[in-house]
Structures are given as structure tokens and as C-alpha cells.
Amino acid sequence: MPESALIHGLLLGAAAAGTIGPVNIEIARRTLRIGWSAGFLLGCGAVTVDFVYAILSSLGMAPLLTHPTIAVILGIAGGLLLIALGFLSAMAAFQPLDLSTSITQRPSPPVSYATGLAMTSINPITVAFWFISVPGSLPTRGGQTFEVALGVFLAAFAWIWFFPATIHFAGQRLRGRVLTITDLLGSAALLTFGGISIWRVIG
């Protein structure tokens, strides 16, 4: 019995959302330092991109978005964004967490959402996943594009709801040096991902 398009989309969404990468690292870091909503909203931006990319991949748009010129642009832009976020994370590591004033320092919901949108849309790993690894396995016959995209959305949304909630619950008592270490590790990971992204297209 062939696998349904919805189940296929659920599996793809879980694979895309649950992979350890720059987006999940930044979700975890922001959740610990700012709160659940900051991580969740960044994740919403990522889910939006995964949903759109699933549709485009199902419609056969891979040749356009994997064109060498596009790949170079995405690699450099994505790498620079991750490096910038890595530096911001390093700077945050040395900023004290003042619960009485932190609410005024939180990024606005649109900024958090836009950050997730940008991180995911120009991430070469995300583009490679949706437009190189996935297309050959997509059950797109019979108008199943919507079912695949719906499955991707449901699985990815479930992840970005529960992942920040779990991080927030586990980290409610984390303060001081633990947050500093988290920010520094997040910074190192983001800088590494950014450097690799740029090196792959210019090296």
C-alpha cells in the first residue's frame, strides 16, 4: 500500500524541523535567555519557509533554486547572517540577565519571526534538503502537493511549539554562568555554521 502524501509530509516536516542546526540552536538560546515566545516566534518563521519550500519542491522548482548562481548567493548571504547572529550571541553572553528590565530588551514579535524567516530561507542546508534530497521521493502525482505541504506544516509546527516549551521548562532555574556558557556555545556553533556555508561556495 503506497504511503499517503500526508504521512510523507509529516515525516519530511519532522526531519526538517528536528535536525540540529543553526535554527534550533538559536531557538534554544533565545528561549533560555528571553523566554518561550521568542523561541517560538523564530520557529514560526522557519516553519513558514519549510511550508513554502515543500510546495515549491512538489511543483518542480528545484532547477531554479539550485542554480549555481543562486547557490552562491544563498551560501554567502546565509553564512553572513549566521556569523552576525554568532557575534550577537557572544555579546549577549557578557550581558547580565536583569529580569526587571529584560522585557524592554526583547525583540518585537515581527523581528523574531523575520529572523527565523531569514535564517531558514537563505540557509543552504535547508535549500539542499528541500530541492536536492527531497524531490525524488515526493509523491506529487494526483494533486498531492497540498497534502505533503500540510503534513510538513503540522509536524514542523508541533516541533517549534514543544521544543521551546521543553527548553524553557528545563531552563527556568538556569541563571548566571549557565546562560553565559549557553550563549558562548551557541555563538561558536552559529559562527561555525556560517563559516562552513561561505567556505562551501567560495572554497
- Residue from 129, 128, 123 nearest 13 by CA: 129
The pLDDT score that the predictor gives to residue 125 is 81
Do 191 and 86 form a contact (C-beta atoms < 8 A)?
yes
SS3 of 3, please? coil
Residue 104 has which C-alpha cell?
524592554
Do 85 and 195 form a contact (C-beta atoms < 8 A)?
no
Question: pTM to 2 decimals?
Answer: 0.80
Q: How far apart are CA 197 and CA 191, in angstroms?
A: 10
The pLDDT score that the predictor gives to residue 200 is 78
Q: How does pLDDT run across 52-95, given as a tens digit for each residue?
A: 998 888 787 767 666 777 778 877 887 888 888 888 778 776 76
